[in-house]
């Protein structure tokens, strides 16, 4: 396992261009299976998770290649329906191909997915939704086998607004017979981006971005060229890095409306968040943070993003006062509290709730990134600590951040990789 080495105490300053969204790109790449011709994608970030999805598509028979910054997917010869176990174990999002495969080939075989270690993360909502559309499902030796003689539009009510399940069902439904309605659908911007992509393929989708999504089935979909939205989690991570180092950073290619939960909380703590235009935001930290108590709950969109919770915790470590974070999306996503404590942080946490005693000095230490966003939180804490922090698990962090050490260094941080 590689490492990030962070020497803290430097103020971040300058301009950063946010990359394309990983979590929008992954389902859109999977949705390319549905097209009858080539798909050209702009703005796909160069990340480990994207490489895994490329390998998944290739294993299914697609031709996939980069042409400069564009990712080209030629799905015409897809004829395999088994998602290789080792790819599935590397990334939970491999599951996204099951809906499109069912719609296109009438079959899909997947294994219990892997990915970040943040709780059980069952797949029942995916399977129930696909079954309602007309798939037969069974499990055998850890494999999930899905089969259909034809998908038919129907109403699916999700008991929880799962992002992945909403996306998987949408992708299956675009080639189903008749209309599908997803109730209690997830409302994340990545869902809207997927819907817009599917529309450029010729699909008709109404209500994406609300809890009530309607998809009209089509017989075929054509190819397209499409640009992925900017990564709101990357933008939020850099914004918090700027704030906790007392810095001033301008973020470009940042869709300001996609982070409603974050900006309000940062302003509450005294950070100036200047919306320059719809795609540019400037983060200006105050000279000193006042004593206060912040209480934050993560929730599905438009609530505060769980994927920014560890980074926000790192930020709160710099704000004097007693703060509360409650994690409501995943049942076990506060493991980073223990790693922060190795750096001198005063935090009491169980699996769901953390009490943070902010405003105490942090010291460099050797810590471990258990999951992608926890790793980002540790890098942020390292930026605000005295001395050198070594974060084990570089590969885990690089699943979601492109050239992170280099881009932080361009803003004045001292971050290297080993
Ligand atoms: C997506 C994001 C991830 C983010 C998460 C929540 C991608 C590739 N990943 O993950 O970064 O943290 O949304 O914003 O887009 N659940 C079930 N049964 C299911 C599916 C989910 O119980 O079939 C539960 C999960 O265990 C979890 C909650 O629903 O507690 C949210 O999961 P979900 O919204 O599905 O997240 P992902 O799509 O996996």
Residues 27, 47, single domain; the answer is: yes
> Whole-structure pTM over 0.95, yes or no?
yes
Decide: 119 in ligand 1 pocket, CB within 6 A.
Answer: yes
CB 232 within 8 A of CB 258: yes
Model confidence at 142, pLDDT cuts 50, 70, 90, reads confident
Is residue 289's pLDDT more than 60?
A: yes
- Determine whether the annotation assigns residue 23 to a binding site: yes
Residues 38, 167, single domain; the answer is: yes
Residues 99, 200, single domain; the answer is: yes
Q: Which atom in ligand 1 lies closest to the alpha carbon of residue 121?
A: 26
Burial class, 350, CB count within 10 angstroms (exposed 0-12 / middle 13-18 / buried 19+):
exposed
Q: Which atom in ligand 1 lies closest to the alpha carbon of residue 160?
A: 29
Residues 168, 310, single domain; the answer is: no
How do residues 351-378 score in pLDDT, each as one tens digit? 899 999 999 999 999 999 999 999 999 9
How do residues 43-60 score in pLDDT, each as one tens digit? 999 999 999 999 999 999
Residues 209, 248, single domain; the answer is: no
Is residue 118's pLDDT more than 70?
A: no
Residues 336, 262, single domain; the answer is: yes
Active-site residue, 116 included: yes
Domain end position, chosen among 227, 262, 292: 227
Is residue 113's pLDDT more than 80?
A: no
Residues 261, 398, single domain; the answer is: yes
Burial class, 102, CB count within 10 angstroms (exposed 0-12 / middle 13-18 / buried 19+):
buried
Angle of helix 232-244 versus helix 260-269 axis, rounded to 10: 10
- Determine whether the annotation assigns residue 307 to a binding site: yes
Residues 102, 15, single domain; the answer is: no
- Domains: count for the chain: 2
CATH code, domain with 161: 3.65.10.10
Q: What percent of the chain has pLDDT over 90?
A: 94
Distance from Cα 319 to the centre of ligand 1, integer Å: 30
Q: Which of 29-43, 55-69, 101-115, 325-339 has the lowest mean pLDDT?
A: 101-115
Domain end position, chosen among 227, 252, 276: 227
* Boundaries of domain holding 263: 3-19+230-417
Domain end position, chosen among 196, 211, 227: 227
Mean pLDDT (the chain) is 96
Distance from Cα 248 to the centre of ligand 1, integer Å: 33
Which residues, 6 or more positions from 298, have their beta carbon under 8 angstroms from its beta carbon? 304, 305, 306, 309, 325, 326, 327, 328, 329
Q: What's the whole-number mean pLDDT along residues 132-151?
A: 94
Q: What's the whole-number mean pLDDT along residues 249-261?
A: 96
Higher pLDDT, 287 or 113: 287
Distance from Cα 208 to the centre of ligand 1, integer Å: 17
Model confidence at 114, pLDDT cuts 50, 70, 90, reads low
For a ligand 1 pocket test, name from 121, 334, 400 the mutation site with the most ligand atoms within 8 angstroms of its C-beta: 121
- Determine whether the annotation assigns residue 230 to a binding site: no
Residues 35, 12, single domain; the answer is: no
Residues 241, 184, single domain; the answer is: no
Q: What is the dihedral of CA 75, 80, 82, 83, to 10 degrees?
A: -30
Helices (H), 6-158: 22-31, 48-59, 85-90, 98-105, 124-132
pLDDT of residue 116: 55
Distance from Cα 164 to the centre of ligand 1, integer Å: 6
Distance CA(62)–CA(59), nearest Å, equals 7
Is residue 204's pLDDT more than 90?
A: yes
- Determine whether the annotation assigns residue 105 to a binding site: no
At residue 317, what are phi and psi to the nearest 5 degrees? -60, -20
Residues 295, 367, single domain; the answer is: yes
At residue 305, what are phi and psi to the nearest 5 degrees? -70, 125
């Amino acid at each position: 396992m590689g490492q990030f080495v962070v020497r803290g105490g430097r103020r971040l300053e300058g301009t950063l261009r946010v990359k394309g969204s990983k979590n929008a790109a992954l389902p859109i790449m999977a949705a390319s299976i549905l097209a009858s011709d080539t798909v050209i994608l702009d703005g796909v970030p160069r990340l480990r998770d994207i490489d895994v999805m490329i390998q998944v598509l290739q294993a299914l028979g697609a031709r996939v290649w980069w042409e400069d910054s564009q990712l080209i997917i030629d799905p015409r010869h897809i004829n395999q329906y088994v998602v290789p176990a080792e790819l599935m174990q590397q990334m939970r999002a491999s599951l996204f191909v099951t809906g499109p495969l069912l719609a296109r080939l009438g079959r899909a075989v997947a294994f219990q997915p892997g990915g970040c270690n943040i709780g059980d993360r069952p797949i029942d909502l995916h399977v129930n939704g696909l079954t309602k559309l007309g798939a037969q499902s069974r499990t055998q030796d850890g494999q999930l086998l899905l089969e259909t003689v034809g998908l038919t539009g129907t109403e699916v009510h999700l008991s929880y607004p799962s992002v992945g399940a909403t996306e998987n069902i949408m992708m299956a439904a675009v080639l189903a017979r008749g209309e599908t309605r997803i109730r209690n659908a997830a409302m994340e911007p990545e869902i809207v981006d997927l819907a817009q992509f599917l529309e450029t393929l010729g699909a008709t989708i109404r209500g994406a971005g609300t809890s009530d999504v309607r998809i009209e089935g089509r017989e075929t979909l054509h190819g397209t060229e499409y640009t992925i939205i900017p990564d709101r989690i990357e933008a939020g991570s850099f914004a918090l890095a700027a704030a906790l180092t007392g810095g001033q950073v301008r973020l470009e290619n940042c869709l300001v409306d996609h982070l409603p939960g974050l900006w309000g909380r940062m302003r509450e703590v005294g950070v100036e968040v200047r919306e320059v235009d719809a795609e540019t935001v400037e983060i200006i930290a105050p000279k000193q943070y006042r004593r206060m108590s912040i209480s934050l709950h993560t929730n599905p969109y438009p609530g505060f993003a769980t994927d920014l919770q560890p980074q926000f915790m790192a930020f709160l470590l710099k704000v004097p006062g007693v703060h509360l974070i409650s994690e409501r999306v995943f049942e076990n996503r506060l493991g980073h509290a223990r790693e922060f404590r190795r750096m001198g942080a005063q935090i009491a946490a169980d699996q769901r709730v953390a009490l943070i005693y902010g405003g105490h000095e942090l010291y460099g230490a050797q810590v471990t990134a258990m999951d992608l966003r926890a790793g980002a939180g540790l890098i942020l804490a390292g930026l605000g600590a005295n001395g050198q922090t070594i974060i084990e698990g570089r590969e885990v962090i690089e699943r979601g951040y492109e050239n992170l050490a280099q881009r932080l260094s361009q803003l004045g941080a001292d971050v290297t990789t080993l």
